[in-house]
Amino acid sequence: MTSQEWKFTNKEIADKPDLFLSGHRACAGCAPATALRLIMKATRGPTIVTEATGCMEVVSSIYPYTSWGLPWLHTAFETAAANASGIEAALKILRKKGKIQDRHVDVIALAGDGGTYDIGLQALSGAVERGHDFLFVLYDNEGYMNTGIQRSGGTPKGAATTTSPAGTVVPGKLERKKPISEIMLAHEIEYVATASTYYWRDLVSKVRKGLEVEGPAFLHVFAPCPRGWRTDPAKSIEYSKLAVETCVFPVWEAIKGKRQLSIPSKMFALAPQKKKPITEYLQGQGRFRHLFAPKNAELLAEMQLTTDERWAQLLKKCEPI
Amino acid sequence: MGTTKKTKQETMALSGDEAVAYAAKQSDVDVVAAYPITPQTIIVEKFSEYVANGEVQTEFVCTESEHSALATCLAASATGARTFTASASAGLALMHEMLFVASGCRTPIVMAIANRALSAPLNIHGDQSDSMAERDSGWIQLYVENAQEAYDSVIQAFKIAEDTNVMLPVIVGLDGFTLSHTLENVEVLPDETVLDFIGKRELPNVLTHEGKTVPFKLDPDTPMTMGPIALPNYYFEFKRQQEEAMKNALKLIKEVNSKYARVSGRSYGDGLIECYRLEDADVATVCVGSTAGTMKETVDEMRQEGFKVGLLRLRTFRPLPVEELRSALENVKAIGVMDKSMSFGGEGGAVFHEIRHVIYDAEKHPQIIDYIYGLGGRDSSPRELRRVYEDLLSTLNVGHAKKKINYIGLRE
């Protein structure tokens, strides 16, 4: 890992040909699609991508069409990390035996929150423990959107989904969002980071850093889903900004276990008064609409408290600014 | 087994599992991904030793589950590597989802299965419930009679799987403990003979979405989308192609069996089925796996006593050699099918169903009786197996079977 701070210019990014190509069938306002396009802009050379079953897999590979400008493999929902293990192992030995060109090939595994927090967690933990050289990118839209908006381990507390509906007795999901990046950090890998789609330069730099690590790297990308969140498709990127501004989803990176807030979140550590109340983020999201009913006022207050607590804990875990 | 020996071979004392590992070692496998499970574990332990001692050039990936083991093999195979894994019972059941993906992605993985019972109740001993339950997963399935055949079949499996007209994964099934853990004299070919026999992995050329013809693998120079989603307008064609590949395999397994015989002096029937004193037999059993060994002894014994009994060993369960089975069995008057697995509520075991299906189109219709035996590793003695023939012979006198479905050695 170089200590070099990656700074992609607008021009560099714009000039680089797309590897996640247009023509895919993602919904209007799909932030994961925007994020993927940016992620692929950060590739640095020969790359193989493997992707878990999910929205982005389905919209990009409808036979006989494809949106992938690089070699791409999908096998199942829970297998992104295991596939990456196999690709990396094959590349390593085939190169050693002289059966393929003698060059490094990057391996990227992509999965949504279902394929990461839930069904894919075992394979991810295993692959990371074994130390395969790959970057795992989680695009987190906080639910099983492809199957019709069901709750996942990544769905936040209070959110209404089709399997955690806001009813007369139960106010949406009762459980908190699983701290997936903390779990990955606990694997003691060289690079773990979080990013949000709005902060594209931060996102692209982190992808590149993750690729440069020799060994496993994990990147958690926050990517709103207008269908699942019941939001205006024109505002997906705005919500990805508000999540950071309210400290609901702080962005940071940990290199060799040393964690630092990234610039977009650092601002709120330096000027706490600028931190927005979570209601600014929750308002306008259909999945949180019920929280604004008077009977849920307590829950709303608790969610603000939890966000503040998690933010305070995070500040303690980060290197001094 | 044939008799002509052309290559000088070494005799080694190997268990079935060790024979499998040795064959995989000689096959120059690029990637092995596996997870331990009894009675397969010796295979991966042995292979790990080869890796640790630098005897193989293989990436050995100790995955955290069988599901990931197969997913790892699949992706490695898609990247162009020769891949091998081994499993059994619950491990194979955990792979179930990926078995279909591996055959659907046309990845020629070779997997040894040390056949073992499925839970519950938990049982680590041998029967064939595990791989019989994967009948429709799109894998070629070969079942072996002894450690020698386990060795030979793993080598043959690579040749079959990787053939560009086949491109299907292969299971080599060996009975848990009976074969996996039992030491036998195994004749092994020199390394270079094995390598020469299998050859290097060839990749078929395919047309990409960009209209380019490129080798079928994940390669940054020739980007390809593998494992896409196919909607009702295309999915069916993918499946039909797999069936065509199975048909090609049927032919190829025979060819590989005879080619291998020329190199090693060993062959197993025509590669698909092995007939033992069947030509003039009145009654015959159909066996899968190691039981055929005991059955052959029984046949010899009863032949000496003047009974016209025979045996058919089904070596290739998938693709099912329908024509070969029919012509070999249609002149028999009563057939006893030996099933080491059950199909609950299905009136008989998996092999029974297959044989009945085969005989439907025959001109003559012999009696077909199912004998379910050996579940959870229960021993079946030569005396019990002899009773199968006696039962079949008595059927000839009566003209019909007393019971269609019979259980051997069961407390009832």
B120 CB-near residues (< 8 Å, 6+ apart): none
Digit-coded pLDDT (tens) for B84-101: 999 999 999 999 999 999
Would A223 be classed as within a structural domain? yes
Residue B313, classified by CB atoms within 10 Å of its CB into exposed (0-12), middle (13-18) or buried (19+), is buried
CA distance A142 to A160: 11
Residues B259 and B325 in one domain: no
Token code pair at residue A259: 């964690």
Digit-coded pLDDT (tens) for B84-143: 999 999 999 999 999 999 999 999 999 999 999 999 999 999 999 999 999 999 999 999
Residues B248 and B311 in one domain: no
CA distance A143 to A67: 23
> Do B218 and A97 make contact, defined as CB atoms within 8 angstroms?
no
Residues B178 and B288 in one domain: no
Return the H-helix or E-strand segment holding B115: strand B110-115
Would A290 be classed as within a structural domain? yes
pLDDT-based confidence at residue A1 (cuts at 50, 70, 90)? very low
B196 CB-near residues (< 8 Å, 6+ apart): none
Residues B259 and B326 in one domain: no
Residues B119 and B250 in one domain: yes
Q: To 5 degrees, how large is the angle CA B243–CA B247–CA B248?
A: 115
B67 Cβ under 8 Å from any chain A Cβ:
yes
Interface probe for A, chosen from B28, B29, B31, B32 (most Cβ of A below 10 Å), is B31
Would A80 be classed as within a structural domain? yes
Residue A66 has its nearest CB partner, among B101, B221, B228, at: B228
Nearest CA to CA, how far is B340 from chain A (Å)? 31
Concatenated DSSP letters of A125-187: HHHHHHT-S-EEEEEE-SSBTTTTSB--TTSPTT---SSS-B-SS-BS--SPPP-HHHHHHTT
Nearest CA to CA, how far is A66 from chain B (Å)? 7
Looking at residue B124, which CATH number applies to its domain? 3.40.50.970
B236 Cβ under 8 Å from any chain A Cβ:
no
> Do A86 and B76 make contact, defined as CB atoms within 8 angstroms?
yes
> Do B61 and A46 make contact, defined as CB atoms within 8 angstroms?
no
**β-bridge partners, A287:** none
Beta strands B170-175 and B405-407, pairing class? unpaired
CA distances from B179 to B15, B47, B117 (A): 7, 18, 15
CB pairs under 8 A between A and B: 165
CA distance B276 to B299: 8
When comparing pLDDT for B400 and B162, which is higher? B162
Is the Cα dihedral A118, A119, A122, A125 positive or negative?
Answer: negative
CA distance A249 to B184: 62
A-chain CB neighbours of B77 within 8 Å are 86, 90
Return the H-helix or E-strand segment holding B275: strand B273-276
> Do A68 and B229 make contact, defined as CB atoms within 8 angstroms?
no
Residues B284 and B257 in one domain: no
B-chain CB neighbours of A96 within 8 Å are 57
> Do B75 and A126 make contact, defined as CB atoms within 8 angstroms?
no
CA distance B85 to B158: 12
> Do A86 and B73 make contact, defined as CB atoms within 8 angstroms?
yes
Cα B251 to chain centroid, rounded: 16
Digit-coded pLDDT (tens) for A264-303: 999 999 999 999 999 999 999 999 999 999 999 999 999 9
Would A71 be classed as within a structural domain? yes
CA distance B383 to B394: 16
Q: Is the pLDDT of residue B168 over 60?
A: yes
Token code pair at residue B285: 């059993």
B-chain CB neighbours of A68 within 8 Å are 223, 225
Tell me what percent of chain A is helix, strand and coil, each rounded to the nearest 5.
45, 15, 40
**β-bridge partners, A218:** A136, A192
Cα–Cα nearest to A156, from A178, A171, A180: A178
Q: What is the pLDDT of residue A2?
A: 45
Residues B182 and B310 in one domain: no
CA distance B72 to B33: 6
Would B96 be classed as within a structural domain? yes
Digit-coded pLDDT (tens) for B225-263: 999 999 999 999 999 999 999 999 999 999 999 999 999
Would A3 be classed as within a structural domain? no
B372 CB-near residues (< 8 Å, 6+ apart): B339, B340, B342, B348, B349, B405, B406, B407, B408
Number of domains comprising chain A? 1
Would A259 be classed as within a structural domain? yes
Would B211 be classed as within a structural domain? no
Q: If you search the block for the tokens 């640095």, which residue do you land on?
A: A44
Q: In this structure, are residues A281 and A316 in contact, taking their beta carbons and an 8 Å threshold? A: no
B200: closest chain A residue by CA: A99
When comparing pLDDT for A100 and A8, which is higher? A100
Return the H-helix or E-strand segment holding B94: helix B89-104
Would A182 be classed as within a structural domain? yes
Digit-coded pLDDT (tens) for B325-383: 999 999 999 999 999 999 999 999 999 999 999 999 999 999 999 999 999 999 999 99
Average pLDDT value for residue range B399-406: 92
CA distance B206 to B214: 5
When comparing pLDDT for B207 and A124, which is higher? A124
> Do B229 and A66 make contact, defined as CB atoms within 8 angstroms?
no
Q: What residue type is assigned to position A73 of the chain?
A: L
Looking at residue A74, which CATH number applies to its domain? 3.40.50.970
Would B210 be classed as within a structural domain? no
Q: What is the pLDDT of residue B209?
A: 77
Nearest CA to CA, how far is A86 from chain B (Å)? 4
Query: Which residues span the domain enclosing A243?
Result: 10-317
B56 Cβ under 8 Å from any chain A Cβ:
no
Query: Which residues span the domain enclosing B351?
Result: 273-407
Residue A48 has its nearest CB partner, among B59, B218, B227, at: B218
Digit-coded pLDDT (tens) for B185-198: 999 999 999 999 99
Nearest CA to CA, how far is B31 from chain A (Å)? 6
Residues B18 and B121 in one domain: yes
Residue B30 has its nearest CB partner, among A79, A83, A94, at: A94
Number of domains comprising chain B? 2
Q: In this structure, are residues A62 and A55 in contact, taking their beta carbons and an 8 Å threshold? A: no
CA distance B273 to B286: 10
Q: In this structure, are residues A213 and A134 in contact, taking their beta carbons and an 8 Å threshold? A: no
A-chain CB neighbours of B72 within 8 Å are 82-83, 85-86, 89
Tell me what percent of chain B is helix, strand and coil, each rounded to the nearest 5.
40, 20, 40
Give the largest Cα separation in chain B, rounded: 70
Residues B66 and B188 in one domain: yes
CA distance A76 to A56: 13
B309 CB-near residues (< 8 Å, 6+ apart): B277, B281, B282, B283, B284, B298, B299, B302, B303, B389, B392, B393
